[in-house]
Amino acid sequence: MVDLIKSEWERLWLKKSTWLCFLAIPFMVYATILYYAKKNMMILQTSPEYTNFLNFPVAALQEQLISAINVFLILFIVLSITEEYRSGQMRMVMIRRYNIREILFAKYIVIILVMFLFLSYYFIFSFIEGYIFLPKDKTTRFFFREDIFLAKDAAIYCLKYYFLAFVTIIAVASMCVFISLISKSTTVAAGANIAIVLFLAMGTEIVKIFAQILGHAPPTKVMFSSIVHIQYKGIYYLLSNNELNSWIIFIILAYIIVFSVFSYLYLRKKDSFI
């Protein structure tokens, strides 16, 4: 299995799209800096919305996690799984005594490892570029926290945020792998995955609008049933000891377990057709 994972790792890095996604990181970070630098001009320095180099890694990830990073994840999954699964390229790997479930598991592990590396590089560039271009205050604030963070505490908070973001990426990946497996082509897989991610992002806003029309507070558990909404706001909740934390953790685990089981059952059923 280790040799198979190494082989899949090399195969993914042979794709130009993988390198392009990583090369895009410094430009993504800089574009986010321009946005927050402009936003800072209209915000009090005591507000959690005010961005300096201490809280910028978190602010930068929040904006890109639900959009660009999810798109990159979908790209890796579609090119690595759907394209090879539907084109029959996996048959060559299966000759080496590996079954389809082992191959897909290896691909899944490699994609998760690549996303971990992606987040690591994103954190490094966010800190470096944030330090260069943003205010160098000695303290900072984060959403849903009343306390003021010094540099060391802010760094620990950022690392925790990135770890939880990585866990949500595993959940999204589990969902997207299943969707990619049942899709008939790479085009269908890419379109379906992006459409579902958009639905999970926009669906919570629609729920909020209807709740406001009816004069009710938005149903928080329904809102946090969306893994994309958890990526956008739920990570802050998890780091603020919110009463919804148990529910958020349950939803994250549910996405991982349920879609992993679905993928396993689908592969077991379709094994004979590969």
Decide if 75 contacts 21 (C-beta within 8 A). yes
Q: Return the bridge partners of 140, or none.
A: 149
200 phi/psi in degrees, rounded to 5: -65, -30
Supply the angle between the helices 186-213 and 151-182 in degrees, to the nearest 10: 120
Taking each continuous run of H as one helix and of E as one strand, the counts in the chain are 14, 2
- Residue 60 one-letter amino acid: A
Cα–Cα dist 162/236, whole Å: 11
Decide if 33 contacts 56 (C-beta within 8 A). yes
Domain locations in the chain? 2-21+54-123+151-273
- Residue 212 one-letter amino acid: Q
pLDDT in tens, 96-119: 567 788 888 999 999 999 999 999
Decide if 274 contacts 90 (C-beta within 8 A). yes
- The band of 92, judged by pLDDT with boundaries at 50, 70 and 90, is low
For 217, which DSSP code? Answer: -
Cα–Cα dist 196/161, whole Å: 24
Closest to 125 measured CA to CA, from 196, 64, 48, 199:
64
Cα–Cα dist 57/49, whole Å: 13
Residue 93 has pLDDT above 70, yes or no: no
218 vs 27, residue with greater confidence: 27
What radius of gyration, in Å, describes the C-alpha atoms of the chain? Answer: 20
pLDDT in tens, 205-264: 888 888 888 877 788 899 999 999 999 999 999 999 888 999 999 999 999 999 999 999
Closest to 201 measured CA to CA, from 227, 171, 169:
227
Q: Which H/E stretch holds residue 47?
A: none
Give the model's pLDDT for residue 91.
54
Supply the angle between the helices 100-133 and 25-40 in degrees, to the nearest 10: 40
201 SS3 class: helix
Mean pLDDT taken over the chain? 90
Q: Which residues contact 128 (CB under 8 A, 6 or more apart)?
A: none
Place of tokens 């005591």: 46
- Residue 159 one-letter amino acid: L
Residue 83 has pLDDT above 90, yes or no: no
Decide if 162 contacts 64 (C-beta within 8 A). no
Read off the pTM.
0.92
pLDDT in tens, 138-186: 999 999 888 999 999 999 999 999 999 999 999 999 999 999 999 988 8
Cα–Cα dist 63/58, whole Å: 9
By CB neighbour count within 10 A (0-12 exposed, 13-18 middle, 19+ buried), where does 218 fall? middle
Closest to 31 measured CA to CA, from 1, 3, 59:
59
pLDDT in tens, 32-71: 999 999 999 999 888 889 999 999 999 999 989 999 999 9
